Structure formats: C-alpha cells, structure tokens
Amino acid sequence: MDLTLKLKKSPRWIKFILGFFLLAIVVTAIVVPIVLTASDTEPTTPSPSTPTTTMATTFPPSVNYDRIECYPFKNMVEENCTASGCLWDSVNGYPNCYLPDSSVYGYEIDGELMNLPDEAGFKIDIRRRRNEDDSIIFSLYGGDIDQVTFEVNYYSDSTLSFAFYPKNEDRFGLRPPVTVTPPTTGATEDIQYEVQLSSNEKGQPFNFQIIRINSGAVIFDTSMGGLTIAEQFLMISTTLPTHYLYGFGENTHDTLLHDMNYRMWPIFSRGQAPGKRDVNAYGAQPFYMASEEDGSSHGVFLFNSHAMDVTTMPNPGITFRAIGGLLEFFVFLGPQPESVVKQYGDVIGRTFMPPYFALGFQLSRWGYKNTSEIRDAIDRTRAVEIPHDIQYVDIDYMDKRRDFTIDPVNFADLPALVDEVKRDGLKFGIILDPAIAHELLGYPPFSRGDKDKVFVQWANSTYKPDSQAANDNNLYGRVWPRRETAFPDFLKNATKQWWTEEIRLFHEEQKLNFDLLWIDMNEPSNFLTGTLLKCPPNRWDDPPYETMAANVGATGRLSEKTICMASLFGEEDEFLHYEVHSLYGHSHAMATQSAVRQVLAGKRSMVLSRSTFAGSGKYAGHWLGDNYSTWKQMANSIIGMVEFNMFNIPYVGPDICGFNLNAEEEMCERWMELGAFYPFSRNHNSFLFKDQDPGVWPDTVAVSSRKALNIRYRLLPYLYTLFYDSHTVGGTVARPLYHEYPKDINARSIDKQFMWGPALLISPVLQPGETSVEVYLPEDVWYDYYTGIRITASGSNTFSAPRDYINLHLRGGYILPAQKPALNTMISRNNNFELLVPLDDNNYAIGKLFWDDGESVNTIEDGLYQINTFEFSGETLNIKVEKGSGDAWGGISQLLDTIQFMGWSSEPAKISVNGADVETTLYEYNETSKNLFLFYKFSMNEDYVVEFR
C-alpha cells in the first residue's frame, strides 16, 4: 500500500504539490512587447545586436520514425498500447508503442509572450493539449501539471537556459540544493544563438528551437513532441544537428561516441562497479556535448538531481525522462569544445587546485593486514626506484571497520609509520566512509552525532522497524561496521560541524598525521536494503515511472544498494532522499574538503570521492571505482577519464591494473604505462586478489613503470600548469583529440588515445601480445617525444611499441615546462627546470609555467605565485616573469638550465642572451634529429631575450 507521509515540516516536493493546486489559475501580468517578431510564414533574420525571440511556423521536415517510446519498461502489446492513448506500429529496430506528435500530445500556447527585464530573456504560459471538447488528453503516469510557464534566460553571448515550472511557482525554490552561478554579462551584438517558438497563437502546439546564428544549426528542437510535466514524471525530447554525441555519466561506455540507436542510459548514483552494461555507477552527470557538422560544438546540462533516464535516438535525438524536480537546462554554445567545458565550468564551478604532491604516483591496497605489509609495499617500490608520492590505507586500519578508530592489534603503530615515511617526502592518505556504526556506548562519534541530530531520519515514524525505539527516528542500514549504521545528512550545518570535529579529534588524539582524505561508499551505499533495511511501499521508493536505474536492479526499486527514498534531508528536513539522493557524495565532498582544510591548517590537501554530481570538481577528485583487471576495462578507462574532464572533474583516473581479479603481468605492465598519464595516477586493488604494486614484478612491470613514471615526473610542471588553467579559467586537463581538432572527422571518434592539454599526445597499447600500436596523428606538426624527430606522416600510422614503451608525441607550436624527475615531488620540485620547444611550420611556439609552494591554501588568491611565459617567434625566444601580488612570495630558487628545440633547421652561428653572446660550448645541434639544445643557466625570476643568428 501507499503510506501517507505525515511530517512536522513537509518536504519541499510535497509543499510544491499541495501549493500548486491552491494557487489561482489566472494571475495578472505586465506584458512586455517582444523585441522582434516574424511574419506568419517565414522566420525573420535576427538582429545581431539583440537577443531575440522569433516566431516561425515551419521547422525542418521530420525524419521517418522519430518515435518517443510510451512506457519503456512495460513490454506493451498493441491492444494495451492503443488503449492507453499511444500509437502502435511494429517496425524492427524502433519502439512499437510510441507517443503521438505534438499536435496531439504535449502542451499548447496559453498566454502572451513576455520579455524579461532588460531583455534578458522571455517567458510564456503553456497548458496541456486539449481534445476538441476541451477535455484533457491522456496522461502517461498521472499527476500532470496543467498550467506551466516556459522561461528562457539569456546569460551571455554563449550561455542561456530554459526551464519549465508550474505557473506562479517559484522556479528557484524547486532547484536542487546545489550552487550554480550563471554569467551576468548579458547578451551583446556577438550573441551566438536565437530562440524560436513554433507559434505564439493561443491554442497552437508549443515547440521551440535554439539555433546557432552563424551556421543555422538547430541545436535544440522539441518539435518531435513528448513534452510531459507531472508531479513524478518529466519528459522532453530534442532532435540534434549531429550524430556526434558525447557525455552523460556515470556509466561505462565502450566508445566515446554514443550509440544513437535507441540506447538508454540511467543517471542515478549507485554503488555499482563499472563494466556492467546499461547500469549507472557512482555519480550523476547529466551533461552532454555535441559536435556539429562544421566542427562547432555545444553542450547541454540538465540541472536536476532526481533519478533520470537518457535515451538516444537515430534521427538523431535524445529523450530525457526524470521522476521529479524541474526541466531546467543550461545550454553552452562554445563553439570550440574547450570553450563549452569552460562555459559549463563557469556555471557549476571550476576544479579545485590540487596540491603538487597529488600529481605524483600513488599506491594503495584494500588488504594490507598490518603496518608491516604497508612497509613492504613502500620498500618494494623504493627498491626498484619507482617514483612514489602518496601511500594510502583502506578500511583495514580501522577498529571493527569504524570511522575515526585504529585497529589496536595490527595497526597500533600506524601513526609512527606515517611519521616515518613522511620524513622522506611520502604523503599519507586514509579512507573515511560516511556510514557510522550504531553504538550508543563506547563509540563517541555516533553518540555525539546522535545528540546533534546529524543522521538521516525516516520521513514517517510508521516506516521504521517495529523493533526500533520510539524516540529513535534514525534510519539504519548496514555498510562496513559489524553493527548497523546511521547515515550523516551533509546538507545540515550541524552535520558539517560534527564531521569536522570528528576529523579534528581523530587527527589530534590519535596523532595520525594524514595529508589527504579518501571518501568512499557515499552514493550512499548500503548492503542489505530489502532485508535489514526494509523500505515500505510508497510513492517515493516506488514511483509510477520505473526508471532504468530501478529496472536493471535485482529488487526493481530505487532503494536498491542505498537507503530508502522516503527519508529526510536538509536543514529543516525539507528534502526527501528521493529528491537529493544523487547529491549525497557531492555534499559529503564539500563537507570533507572544508573539514580537512580546517584540520590541516593552511594546507590545501585533497579529497578523493567515489560519488559525484555536477560541480563536485570544486571540492574533490574522483576515481572510477571498483573496476576489473581486464584489457577492456583498461581501454574503457580512457573514455571515463576524458568524460569526467568534460564534466569539469579533471582530477580523475581508475584503479591502475584493476581493483577486482588478479592482474596479469603483461596487462599490468601496459596499464602502468597508461596510468602514468592519468591526471590521478594510483595503483589499487582488493584484498581478495594478489598484490599488484609494480615492485611485485621487478624485472618487467617495475622497469616499464619506472620509465613511464619518470616521464610523468619530468612533465609535472606542465601538468600542474594545466590544472592551474583549469582552476582559474576552466577547461580540461586530459582531453580527446576531438577537442583540439574539432573539424577533423576522424578525430571525433578517437577514444584509444588522448592528450594532456593541447601539446602532448598519448597512445597506449591496449591489447595483449601487441608490440606495435595504431596511432592517429591529425594534420599538424608532430615530434616523437623520445627522439625529438619530426613525424612526417599524418593520419593513421603503425608505430613500434615494445613492452617497456608507450608512444608519446609532442605537437609543434607549444612550449612545455619540465623538470628533472626524482623519487617524489618533494625532491623533484628542487631540481632545475627544462623547456621542451617543438616548433611549428612558422618557427613559432608558446607556453607558460605556473609555480607556487605547491601545498598552501589560497596561494592564487593571496598572490603567492608566479607565472613564467615563453614565446619563440622567428629567431627570438622571449622569457617573461609575472609575479603575484603577495609580498611573501620570494620567487623560484631553481634555475632553467636546458632548452630543447625540435624542428630547428640548421646550426645557429651565434646565440645571445640579453645581448651577450653565449659560448659555443653551451649549445649543441644535432643535424640528424634537427634538435638544438641550449645549456644556459637562466634565473626563473628575470626576463630574458634569447636571439639566434
């Protein structure tokens, strides 16, 4: 049965449902004349100086079989389909039961168009389509909202949003409790888009288009119909101008390009290992990018935290289905792929700036039985001279697997071990899970939290087990501790304060000097939903639309592997878990970043989170979860990595060599080579399987790992500068080739190679037994990283790839700052710098270095940094220094002592630095490789002009 919720403070969603029906149907509005209208027959070309809303009666002709499926999980037969109001036509490969078009089903114009103040957009009222007798057309899942406002906001020349909300309701009050910050510049004469309604005549079907002005590409088009706005079911469909579609997560994708043949993807955070087809994993990322015919790109973000499904369609198109909230979309016009990511980051927030040590290689294992085994892994790694910056310890260190405790038998000396290894430059990370053991006596973290009311509560006291005390309304599940667990609500201020205090007490009382926190199981995950934790039947755990996230699970319920949807969250219990489930990891990461920065006063630190939402990159990095030690998952990790970069979470990577299964030697060797170029580079696996740190294979995996990781450490200044750019202006760190070559049709589907920024191409071996690799080189200037020799052939090439070798290519026209590698970043940061200068065909290259102390909070805000810029043009290299405004910044003590130019045509007769000739012994030219090396000691704190004759 469907139990009625009885609440002291009704959740926001219930307030909305009740409030809507109490509102007057008609309100008085001031109608502002539209800026520009069109004739009844032809759309008017918009003025380039003003954002416009134009009226048009014709759209491009529809494609055959543009079908929006009715009742996706019902396995409909013809009789039931047509009886429900849908259409039936059995065509192989297409939905048989589908919706009528927008002339029959959907919404119609119900008011006059009104411009927003300052012509910053417009809005218009719409209502559900009627039959000729004014009766309502059929409902798919019930609870349809009859009268709705459609609003469009012009935020900038390249960013706009549109939203549907119940008429007279507060749109912003229905958003997820996540901060978004749209641009405030407004539209100018350079606006890239126009919005067209199909009609503004009352009673006519409502449809709209968003059109790119310069090309005419229709980037969002609802004319196929299907618009539904109901209490617990929202749906909208759009045709696309392209089949080149990317994004949506977190799911395992076998290709970077999406399959457009009616493929459905669920988006709903779940503690689900990657690899299984058609399931959602740990995070919720409702964002996509598309590459248009002319190479322009756009992005679309659905700002909704409810469970949703996304279906691709071959026309091409997309259907979104969500079980609540708003249909509110942000649209980013780019037009470059990197511009799209930057514009998206401007709205949801850019990435945190990682500490420098977080870019080093990291080692972990769930299954260290004691501190001696941790020491053994560290010693093995040192013995084979593999760079190593962070060592982790998993839940093994805990007493009875409870947060904020240390096993007194096997890990009693963990604090001493941490202090010991840190003296040599190693950093230490510990894991914390959100679920807290339910122990009233002897476990202060629970008793303190219970006293402060930080734990998730049942939405109705009748839902909780009969055995639970009358005065205890906490919802309990089961995660790692031996007892049942409570779940902190990180949307409460009291919870954030409690979490910070528990971390502080643990750090101080146990004297465990960790450097970063790793947070897991925060979907939130729960092991025994349906047995220990039973969610009674109700409209939230069993919504009328089933969702794919529930459909593919064993129980067929949203609560599978998590806690009940009918539980309360928020400062005033204003949210149901149903509304904010996919925000749990996001709120957990926010609280943890704040806590660790307070506890480690003045230190930037780092948080690594399993579950994410849009904007989580501001607070944490992400690993791709409990993957498997297979070649396929190694290849798929590249797709996951570049997708999360699109999502503005660039600090990302999988468990190198895989978490589950025993890692085979050759596969682990190749994966370590690839893993050396993940932004987040960590080898981690499960206690159920053998150790797989590279020192286990000293003559093979360790040799290849050392070579690849030494390259990573050499290029860390370049990688750190990429993160600085991502943090300050946005954009990806690791990116697909398509981002740099959007007009190259072949590059749009490349997903077995990737780039660091614009300048370094990585092409790993991803198949067993291979000693060569197919490398696609877009039309450009490329150099072999190892030899500096120019590669003359573009397109697909087969290059040699022995077991200890990963193909790397440098792109002409960019200058990469580098540094002599070492066994950890504490050492390497003290080494002198280098410059790698691969020249383009115009004898030009440009680059920069960002540098600070690598670990303090707010070095950028406080001006405690410097930027060195490098530009080579013709025969002159200019080096300039831009220091931050902070007086405490003393500059860089290391020197720049080596510059390698690639593509140098002939040996120079003379080189001068600031007008003084350089001795010939300080430079060397290689005629065969066309490489020129300059060995001159430049101060990093002075400007230079280097001339070549």
Which residues are designated catalytic? 520, 523
Residue with tokens 């219930």: 14
Q: What one-character-per-residue DSSP string does 702-751 give?
A: HHHHHHHHHHHHHTHHHHHHHHHHHHHT---SEE-HHHH-TT-TGGGG--
Residue 314, both tokens: 């071959």
Cα separation, 422 vs 419, in Å, equals 5
* DSSP character string of 491-545: TSHHHHHHHHHHHHHHHHHTT---SEEEE-STTT--S-BTTTB-----TTTS-SS
454 within 8 A of 495, measured Cβ to Cβ:
yes
Per-residue DSSP letter, 630: S
Tokens at residue 59, please? 């759209």
Alpha-carbon span 86 to 366, nearest angstrom: 52
Distance from chain centroid for Cα 636 = 16
What is the tally of helices (H) and strands (E) in the chain? 16, 55
Compute the distance between CA of residue 831 and CA of residue 818 in angstroms, rounded to an integer: 10
Q: Which helix (H) or strand (E) holds 456?
A: none
Tally of residues, the chain: 949
Which of these, 788, 833, 858, lies nearest to 941 by C-alpha position? 833
HSE (CB half, 13 Å, CA atoms) of 263?
Answer: 17
Helix (H) or strand (E) holding 237: strand 234-239
How far apart are alpha carbons 304 and 846 in whole angstroms? 41
Q: Beta-carbon neighbour count of residue 273 at 10 Å?
A: 18
d(CA 453, CA 497): 12
Determine contact, residues 249/224, Cβ cutoff 8 Å: no
Cα–Cα distance measured from residue 298 to residue 338, given in angstroms and rounded to the nearest whole number: 10
- Distance from the first to the final alpha carbon of the chain: 87
DSSP string, 784-818: ETTT-PEE---EEEEEE--TT--EEEEETTB-EEE
Contact (CB, 8 A) for 727 and 353: yes
- Judging by DSSP bridges, how do beta strands 390-393 and 427-432 pair with one another? parallel
DSSP, res 396:
G
SS3 state at 629: coil
- Give the residue among 402, 397, 377, 398 at the shortest CA–CA distance from 388: 377
DSSP bridge pairs for 755:
735, 761
DSSP, residue by residue, 877-938: EEEEEEE-S-TT-----SEEEEEEEES--S--S-EEETTEEPPGGGEEEETTTTEEEE---E
Taking phi over 0 as left and psi of -120 to 50 as alpha, with beta for the rest, 213 belongs to alpha
Residue 292 Cα distances to 63, 123, 333, angstroms: 18, 28, 11
Please give the structure tokens belonging to residue 826.
């504490």
Token representation of residue 557: 């319920």
- Does the bond joining 335 to the residue before it have cis omega, within 30 degrees of 0? yes
